Amino acid sequence: MMMENHGGTAGAPMLKVVLGLNLSNVLVVVTRYFGGVLLGTGGLVKAYTEATQKAIEQTVLKTQTRGYEVSVLAEYGELEKIKYYLNKKNLNISKINYLDNIEIIVEIPEEELEIFTNINNNTSFKIIKYNILKEKFIDI
């Protein structure tokens, strides 16, 4: 049985498509059931390129940025003002916990974190405190 070396006919064309679209954090899997010697090098490159393009076209792409999940603690009377403020800043509230006080869990891009430094001096509401819970990638 004769084996042909078709190096560079699968991974390289697939990577070229991904890089050409400026994508990151992507996994593309293509399974080939037929081809090899019969398709030839050009046919394999074309097949893997087209399969990758079609897979990406059918995918919902998300743009993400580095950020934080932050817990904001405030009194109940401040909730609507805080929600309005966060909405105006396009910050995502992922959860609200109704405890002795209100705890608002919000996703904040890295560059926006500074808004909490002087928040009690710059807004019409007051917070008791905020804590960074974790770093995470957040959708923008």
pLDDT (tens digit per residue) in 73-104 = 999 999 999 999 999 999 999 999 999 999 99
Domain ranges (residues) in the chain: 11-57, 64-139
Measured CA to CA, the distance from residue 14 to residue 45 in angstroms comes to 9
The third-level CATH classification (topology) of the domain covering 64-139 is Alpha-Beta Plaits (3.30.70)
pTM for the structure as a whole = 0.68
Lowest-confidence segment of 4-8, 35-39, 68-72, 136-140 by average pLDDT:
4-8
Q: Are 60 and 118 in contact (CB under 8 A)?
A: no
Residues paired with residue 60 on neighbouring β-strands, in sequence order: none
Lowest-confidence segment of 22-31, 65-74, 95-104, 120-129 by average pLDDT:
120-129
Q: According to the model, what pLDDT value does residue 107 have?
A: 96
Q: Mean pLDDT across the chain, nearest whole number?
A: 89
